[in-house]
Structure 1
Amino acid sequence: MTESMTVIETPRLRLRTATLDDAAFYMELVNDPSWIANIGQRNIHTLEAARAALETGPMAQQRELGYSLYILERRSDGAPVGMAGLVRRDSLPGPDIGYAVRPAYWGQGYAYEAAAAIVQHAQHVLRIRTLFGITSLQNQASIRLLNKLGLRFERFTRLPPAAKETNVYRRDFRQD
Protein backbone atom coordinates (compact mmCIF):
# COMPACT_ATOMS: atom_id res chain seq x y z
CA MET A 1 0.00 0.00 0.00
CA THR A 2 1.35 3.43 -0.93
CA GLU A 3 1.66 5.96 1.85
CA SER A 4 -0.11 9.27 1.45
CA MET A 5 2.13 12.33 1.33
CA THR A 6 1.05 15.87 2.18
CA VAL A 7 2.05 18.10 -0.74
CA ILE A 8 0.47 21.45 0.19
CA GLU A 9 -1.20 22.87 3.28
CA THR A 10 -3.37 25.97 3.27
CA PRO A 11 -5.01 27.59 6.27
CA ARG A 12 -7.99 25.21 6.05
CA LEU A 13 -6.95 22.39 3.74
CA ARG A 14 -4.40 19.62 3.36
CA LEU A 15 -3.68 18.49 -0.21
CA ARG A 16 -2.24 14.99 -0.17
CA THR A 17 -1.46 12.26 -2.63
CA ALA A 18 -4.14 9.67 -3.27
CA THR A 19 -3.88 6.07 -2.08
CA LEU A 20 -5.95 2.98 -2.74
CA ASP A 21 -7.64 3.64 0.62
CA ASP A 22 -9.35 6.63 -1.06
CA ALA A 23 -11.32 4.38 -3.42
CA ALA A 24 -14.73 4.76 -1.69
CA PHE A 25 -14.39 8.56 -1.58
CA TYR A 26 -13.23 8.66 -5.21
CA MET A 27 -16.10 6.46 -6.38
CA GLU A 28 -18.59 8.76 -4.62
CA LEU A 29 -16.96 11.90 -6.06
CA VAL A 30 -16.84 10.77 -9.70
CA ASN A 31 -20.44 9.56 -9.59
CA ASP A 32 -21.83 12.83 -8.25
CA PRO A 33 -24.16 14.42 -10.84
CA SER A 34 -22.08 17.64 -10.83
CA TRP A 35 -18.89 15.69 -11.69
CA ILE A 36 -20.66 13.83 -14.49
CA ALA A 37 -22.16 17.06 -15.90
CA ASN A 38 -18.96 19.11 -15.79
CA ILE A 39 -16.15 16.57 -16.08
CA GLY A 40 -17.70 13.46 -17.55
CA GLN A 41 -18.86 9.94 -16.85
CA ARG A 42 -16.04 7.70 -15.59
CA ASN A 43 -18.06 4.46 -15.34
CA ILE A 44 -16.57 3.69 -11.93
CA HIS A 45 -19.19 1.79 -9.99
CA THR A 46 -17.21 -0.61 -7.80
CA LEU A 47 -14.41 -0.20 -5.27
CA GLU A 48 -12.23 -2.36 -7.51
CA ALA A 49 -12.80 0.00 -10.44
CA ALA A 50 -12.13 3.03 -8.22
CA ARG A 51 -8.86 1.50 -6.98
CA ALA A 52 -7.80 0.77 -10.57
CA ALA A 53 -8.66 4.32 -11.67
CA LEU A 54 -6.67 5.82 -8.79
CA GLU A 55 -3.71 3.54 -9.53
CA THR A 56 -3.59 4.32 -13.26
CA GLY A 57 -4.59 7.98 -12.86
CA PRO A 58 -3.46 10.19 -9.96
CA MET A 59 -1.08 7.67 -8.37
CA ALA A 60 0.68 6.90 -11.67
CA GLN A 61 0.97 10.59 -12.59
CA GLN A 62 2.43 11.38 -9.18
CA ARG A 63 5.09 8.67 -9.61
CA GLU A 64 5.89 9.64 -13.20
CA LEU A 65 5.60 13.44 -13.14
CA GLY A 66 5.84 14.52 -9.51
CA TYR A 67 2.33 16.01 -9.57
CA SER A 68 -1.23 14.78 -9.82
CA LEU A 69 -4.74 15.34 -8.56
CA TYR A 70 -4.62 15.44 -4.77
CA ILE A 71 -7.19 14.58 -2.14
CA LEU A 72 -8.46 17.74 -0.42
CA GLU A 73 -8.98 17.25 3.30
CA ARG A 74 -10.15 19.77 5.86
CA ARG A 75 -7.35 20.26 8.35
CA SER A 76 -9.82 20.71 11.20
CA ASP A 77 -11.27 17.20 11.01
CA GLY A 78 -9.69 15.33 8.08
CA ALA A 79 -12.97 15.28 6.11
CA PRO A 80 -12.34 14.71 2.39
CA VAL A 81 -14.00 17.61 0.55
CA GLY A 82 -12.80 16.99 -3.00
CA MET A 83 -9.80 16.71 -5.28
CA ALA A 84 -7.55 19.29 -6.88
CA GLY A 85 -4.19 19.37 -8.57
CA LEU A 86 -2.47 19.15 -11.91
CA VAL A 87 -3.23 16.73 -14.73
CA ARG A 88 -1.07 15.97 -17.75
CA ARG A 89 -3.12 15.26 -20.87
CA ASP A 90 -1.78 14.28 -24.28
CA SER A 91 -4.26 16.73 -25.80
CA LEU A 92 -2.67 19.81 -24.17
CA PRO A 93 0.93 21.09 -24.44
CA GLY A 94 1.27 21.43 -20.66
CA PRO A 95 -0.40 20.48 -17.37
CA ASP A 96 -3.88 21.70 -16.55
CA ILE A 97 -5.32 22.56 -13.20
CA GLY A 98 -8.26 20.49 -12.09
CA TYR A 99 -10.56 20.62 -9.09
CA ALA A 100 -13.80 19.15 -7.88
CA VAL A 101 -15.47 19.77 -4.54
CA ARG A 102 -18.30 17.67 -3.18
CA PRO A 103 -21.60 19.61 -3.28
CA ALA A 104 -21.92 19.52 0.53
CA TYR A 105 -18.85 21.78 0.66
CA TRP A 106 -19.72 24.22 -2.14
CA GLY A 107 -19.82 27.94 -1.39
CA GLN A 108 -17.15 27.79 1.33
CA GLY A 109 -14.16 28.86 -0.79
CA TYR A 110 -12.44 25.47 -0.73
CA ALA A 111 -12.01 25.22 -4.52
CA TYR A 112 -10.38 28.66 -4.71
CA GLU A 113 -8.19 28.05 -1.66
CA ALA A 114 -6.91 24.76 -3.07
CA ALA A 115 -6.56 25.98 -6.65
CA ALA A 116 -4.69 29.16 -5.65
CA ALA A 117 -2.23 27.03 -3.66
CA ILE A 118 -1.79 24.72 -6.66
CA VAL A 119 -1.07 27.67 -8.95
CA GLN A 120 1.65 28.85 -6.54
CA HIS A 121 3.04 25.32 -6.25
CA ALA A 122 3.09 24.92 -10.05
CA GLN A 123 4.91 28.22 -10.54
CA HIS A 124 7.35 28.29 -7.64
CA VAL A 125 8.00 24.64 -6.73
CA LEU A 126 7.45 22.73 -9.97
CA ARG A 127 8.68 25.66 -12.12
CA ILE A 128 5.99 25.06 -14.74
CA ARG A 129 6.10 27.68 -17.48
CA THR A 130 2.52 27.42 -18.77
CA LEU A 131 -0.55 26.27 -16.90
CA PHE A 132 -3.78 25.34 -18.65
CA GLY A 133 -7.33 25.01 -17.40
CA ILE A 134 -10.29 23.41 -19.13
CA THR A 135 -14.01 23.68 -18.49
CA SER A 136 -17.21 22.59 -20.07
CA LEU A 137 -18.91 25.48 -21.89
CA GLN A 138 -21.72 25.82 -19.31
CA ASN A 139 -19.60 25.63 -16.13
CA GLN A 140 -19.77 29.29 -15.12
CA ALA A 141 -18.41 28.68 -11.59
CA SER A 142 -15.28 27.06 -12.99
CA ILE A 143 -14.86 29.77 -15.62
CA ARG A 144 -15.01 32.44 -12.89
CA LEU A 145 -12.52 30.51 -10.78
CA LEU A 146 -10.02 30.12 -13.62
CA ASN A 147 -10.25 33.85 -14.33
CA LYS A 148 -9.75 34.63 -10.63
CA LEU A 149 -6.61 32.47 -10.74
CA GLY A 150 -5.23 34.53 -13.63
CA LEU A 151 -5.92 32.06 -16.42
CA ARG A 152 -7.32 33.63 -19.57
CA PHE A 153 -9.52 32.15 -22.26
CA GLU A 154 -7.44 30.90 -25.17
CA ARG A 155 -9.77 28.87 -27.40
CA PHE A 156 -12.58 26.39 -27.81
CA THR A 157 -11.61 22.85 -28.69
CA ARG A 158 -12.79 19.26 -28.55
CA LEU A 159 -10.73 17.14 -26.19
CA PRO A 160 -10.67 13.35 -26.15
CA PRO A 161 -12.07 10.98 -25.12
CA ALA A 162 -15.62 12.38 -25.35
CA ALA A 163 -14.73 15.13 -27.86
CA LYS A 164 -17.14 17.50 -26.09
CA GLU A 165 -16.71 21.22 -26.76
CA THR A 166 -14.36 22.58 -24.13
CA ASN A 167 -13.03 25.98 -23.10
CA VAL A 168 -9.23 26.11 -22.84
CA TYR A 169 -7.65 28.70 -20.53
CA ARG A 170 -3.97 29.51 -20.13
CA ARG A 171 -1.57 31.29 -17.81
CA ASP A 172 2.10 31.81 -18.61
CA PHE A 173 4.57 32.27 -15.76
CA ARG A 174 7.75 34.26 -15.95
CA GLN A 175 10.64 32.28 -14.56
CA ASP A 176 13.17 34.25 -12.55
Structure 2
Amino acid sequence: MTDLERWAALPDVPDLLPGEDRAFGAGLFVDLVPSSCWFTNVRSCVARRDWERLRRMITGRAGQRCEICGNREDRGSRRWLEAHERWAYDDRTRTQALRRLICLCTDCHTATHFGLAQLRGVGDRAMAHLRQVTGMSTADAEAHVEAAFELWHRRSAVTWTLDLTMLTSAGITLNPPPDADQRPAVAEENLRQQREF
Protein backbone atom coordinates (compact mmCIF):
# COMPACT_ATOMS: atom_id res chain seq x y z
CA MET A 1 0.00 0.00 0.00
CA THR A 2 2.86 2.39 0.66
CA ASP A 3 3.81 2.26 -3.03
CA LEU A 4 0.35 3.62 -3.92
CA GLU A 5 0.48 6.62 -1.57
CA ARG A 6 2.08 8.89 -4.16
CA TRP A 7 -1.11 8.61 -6.26
CA ALA A 8 -3.51 9.24 -3.39
CA ALA A 9 -5.63 12.37 -3.75
CA LEU A 10 -4.37 15.29 -1.71
CA PRO A 11 -6.82 17.44 0.27
CA ASP A 12 -8.19 20.57 -1.38
CA VAL A 13 -6.31 23.80 -0.81
CA PRO A 14 -8.37 26.25 1.31
CA ASP A 15 -10.02 29.08 -0.66
CA LEU A 16 -8.22 31.61 1.50
CA LEU A 17 -4.58 30.75 2.08
CA PRO A 18 -3.08 31.55 5.49
CA GLY A 19 -2.05 35.21 5.47
CA GLU A 20 -3.46 35.89 1.98
CA ASP A 21 -4.75 39.42 1.40
CA ARG A 22 -7.46 39.16 -1.30
CA ALA A 23 -7.52 42.95 -1.69
CA PHE A 24 -3.75 43.27 -2.24
CA GLY A 25 -2.88 44.49 -5.73
CA ALA A 26 -6.41 45.09 -6.97
CA GLY A 27 -7.08 46.01 -10.59
CA LEU A 28 -5.00 45.74 -13.73
CA PHE A 29 -1.53 47.25 -13.63
CA VAL A 30 1.91 46.52 -15.01
CA ASP A 31 3.66 44.42 -12.38
CA LEU A 32 7.18 43.62 -13.56
CA VAL A 33 9.10 40.92 -11.70
CA PRO A 34 12.65 42.07 -10.87
CA SER A 35 15.27 40.14 -12.84
CA SER A 36 16.82 39.05 -9.55
CA CYS A 37 13.51 37.28 -8.78
CA TRP A 38 12.97 35.52 -12.10
CA PHE A 39 12.04 31.85 -11.72
CA THR A 40 10.74 32.34 -8.20
CA ASN A 41 7.12 32.23 -9.33
CA VAL A 42 4.79 29.85 -7.55
CA ARG A 43 4.55 27.40 -10.44
CA SER A 44 8.33 26.86 -10.53
CA CYS A 45 8.60 26.64 -6.72
CA VAL A 46 5.96 24.03 -5.91
CA ALA A 47 5.64 20.34 -6.68
CA ARG A 48 3.55 19.58 -9.78
CA ARG A 49 0.73 17.94 -7.78
CA ASP A 50 0.55 20.96 -5.48
CA TRP A 51 0.52 23.33 -8.47
CA GLU A 52 -2.56 21.56 -9.84
CA ARG A 53 -4.26 21.82 -6.43
CA LEU A 54 -3.50 25.56 -6.31
CA ARG A 55 -4.56 26.19 -9.90
CA ARG A 56 -7.91 24.44 -9.36
CA MET A 57 -8.53 26.43 -6.18
CA ILE A 58 -7.62 29.77 -7.82
CA THR A 59 -9.84 29.31 -10.88
CA GLY A 60 -12.63 27.75 -8.81
CA ARG A 61 -12.88 30.53 -6.25
CA ALA A 62 -12.90 33.06 -9.12
CA GLY A 63 -15.94 31.31 -10.62
CA GLN A 64 -13.93 30.36 -13.75
CA ARG A 65 -13.59 34.05 -14.68
CA CYS A 66 -10.73 36.53 -14.80
CA GLU A 67 -10.75 38.49 -11.54
CA ILE A 68 -9.88 41.70 -13.42
CA CYS A 69 -11.95 41.87 -16.60
CA GLY A 70 -14.45 39.08 -15.93
CA ASN A 71 -13.70 37.15 -19.14
CA ARG A 72 -14.06 33.40 -19.23
CA GLU A 73 -11.65 31.00 -20.85
CA ASP A 74 -12.12 30.85 -24.63
CA ARG A 75 -10.12 28.17 -26.39
CA GLY A 76 -11.08 29.53 -29.82
CA SER A 77 -9.38 32.86 -29.15
CA ARG A 78 -6.59 31.17 -27.11
CA ARG A 79 -7.63 32.97 -23.92
CA TRP A 80 -6.91 30.85 -20.86
CA LEU A 81 -7.35 31.35 -17.14
CA GLU A 82 -3.98 31.61 -15.43
CA ALA A 83 -2.70 32.01 -11.88
CA HIS A 84 -0.75 35.16 -11.07
CA GLU A 85 1.11 36.12 -7.90
CA ARG A 86 0.94 39.47 -6.19
CA TRP A 87 4.17 40.12 -4.30
CA ALA A 88 5.06 42.62 -1.59
CA TYR A 89 8.66 43.88 -1.56
CA ASP A 90 10.15 45.00 1.74
CA ASP A 91 13.11 47.25 0.90
CA ARG A 92 14.38 47.20 4.49
CA THR A 93 14.60 43.39 4.82
CA ARG A 94 14.96 42.76 1.07
CA THR A 95 12.13 40.26 1.21
CA GLN A 96 9.82 39.34 -1.67
CA ALA A 97 6.71 37.96 0.04
CA LEU A 98 3.76 36.28 -1.63
CA ARG A 99 0.59 38.12 -0.56
CA ARG A 100 -2.09 37.02 -3.02
CA LEU A 101 -2.85 34.53 -5.79
CA ILE A 102 -5.24 35.84 -8.44
CA CYS A 103 -6.96 34.35 -11.49
CA LEU A 104 -6.19 36.31 -14.67
CA CYS A 105 -7.12 35.69 -18.28
CA THR A 106 -4.28 35.49 -20.79
CA ASP A 107 -4.93 39.10 -21.92
CA CYS A 108 -4.77 40.58 -18.40
CA HIS A 109 -1.76 38.40 -17.54
CA THR A 110 0.06 39.55 -20.68
CA ALA A 111 -0.60 43.21 -19.84
CA THR A 112 0.57 42.64 -16.27
CA HIS A 113 3.89 41.20 -17.50
CA PHE A 114 4.33 44.00 -20.03
CA GLY A 115 8.10 43.56 -20.39
CA LEU A 116 7.66 39.91 -21.36
CA ALA A 117 4.86 40.93 -23.74
CA GLN A 118 7.29 43.27 -25.51
CA LEU A 119 9.92 40.52 -25.78
CA ARG A 120 7.30 38.23 -27.31
CA GLY A 121 6.25 40.90 -29.82
CA VAL A 122 2.75 41.47 -28.36
CA GLY A 123 3.42 44.75 -26.55
CA ASP A 124 0.87 46.67 -28.66
CA ARG A 125 -1.84 44.14 -27.85
CA ALA A 126 -0.93 44.28 -24.14
CA MET A 127 -1.05 48.09 -24.18
CA ALA A 128 -4.45 48.07 -25.91
CA HIS A 129 -5.85 45.65 -23.31
CA LEU A 130 -4.40 47.70 -20.43
CA ARG A 131 -6.06 50.85 -21.81
CA GLN A 132 -9.37 49.11 -22.51
CA VAL A 133 -9.69 47.58 -19.03
CA THR A 134 -8.42 50.56 -17.01
CA GLY A 135 -9.81 53.37 -19.16
CA MET A 136 -6.36 55.04 -19.23
CA SER A 137 -5.53 57.46 -22.01
CA THR A 138 -2.55 56.63 -24.21
CA ALA A 139 -0.40 59.17 -22.35
CA ASP A 140 -1.47 57.84 -18.94
CA ALA A 141 -0.84 54.23 -19.96
CA GLU A 142 2.61 55.10 -21.33
CA ALA A 143 3.48 56.97 -18.11
CA HIS A 144 2.24 53.98 -16.08
CA VAL A 145 4.46 51.58 -18.06
CA GLU A 146 7.46 53.93 -17.74
CA ALA A 147 7.00 54.13 -13.94
CA ALA A 148 6.72 50.32 -13.77
CA PHE A 149 10.04 49.95 -15.63
CA GLU A 150 11.73 52.49 -13.33
CA LEU A 151 10.58 50.47 -10.31
CA TRP A 152 11.72 47.27 -12.03
CA HIS A 153 15.24 48.67 -12.54
CA ARG A 154 15.49 49.65 -8.86
CA ARG A 155 14.20 46.30 -7.63
CA SER A 156 16.35 44.32 -10.08
CA ALA A 157 19.48 45.74 -8.44
CA VAL A 158 18.59 43.94 -5.19
CA THR A 159 18.86 40.25 -4.28
CA TRP A 160 15.57 39.38 -2.62
CA THR A 161 14.84 36.69 -0.05
CA LEU A 162 11.76 34.70 -1.03
CA ASP A 163 8.94 34.36 1.52
CA LEU A 164 6.39 31.70 0.57
CA THR A 165 5.03 31.04 4.07
CA MET A 166 1.54 31.66 2.70
CA LEU A 167 1.97 28.38 0.79
CA THR A 168 3.92 26.32 3.30
CA SER A 169 1.34 27.21 5.98
CA ALA A 170 -1.29 25.58 3.73
CA GLY A 171 0.74 22.36 3.40
CA ILE A 172 2.19 23.10 -0.04
CA THR A 173 5.54 21.44 -0.79
CA LEU A 174 8.22 23.77 -2.18
CA ASN A 175 10.93 23.09 -4.73
CA PRO A 176 13.95 25.38 -4.37
CA PRO A 177 14.23 27.97 -7.18
CA PRO A 178 17.56 28.62 -8.93
CA ASP A 179 20.03 30.67 -6.89
CA ALA A 180 19.64 34.43 -7.39
CA ASP A 181 22.92 34.75 -9.31
CA GLN A 182 21.83 31.99 -11.75
CA ARG A 183 18.34 33.38 -12.51
CA PRO A 184 19.26 35.88 -15.27
CA ALA A 185 21.13 33.17 -17.25
CA VAL A 186 18.26 30.70 -16.78
CA ALA A 187 15.79 33.39 -17.91
CA GLU A 188 17.83 34.21 -21.01
CA GLU A 189 17.99 30.52 -21.97
CA ASN A 190 14.25 30.16 -21.40
CA LEU A 191 13.49 33.17 -23.63
CA ARG A 192 15.86 31.85 -26.32
CA GLN A 193 14.02 28.53 -26.33
CA GLN A 194 10.64 30.30 -26.53
CA ARG A 195 11.79 32.33 -29.55
CA GLU A 196 12.94 29.15 -31.31
CA PHE A 197 9.64 27.42 -30.54
More helix by share: 2
Which of 1 and 2 has higher RCO (CA within 8 Å, sep 6+)?
Answer: 2
More strand by share: 1
Same fold (TM over 0.5): no
What TM-score do the two structures reach when normalised by structure 2? 0.28
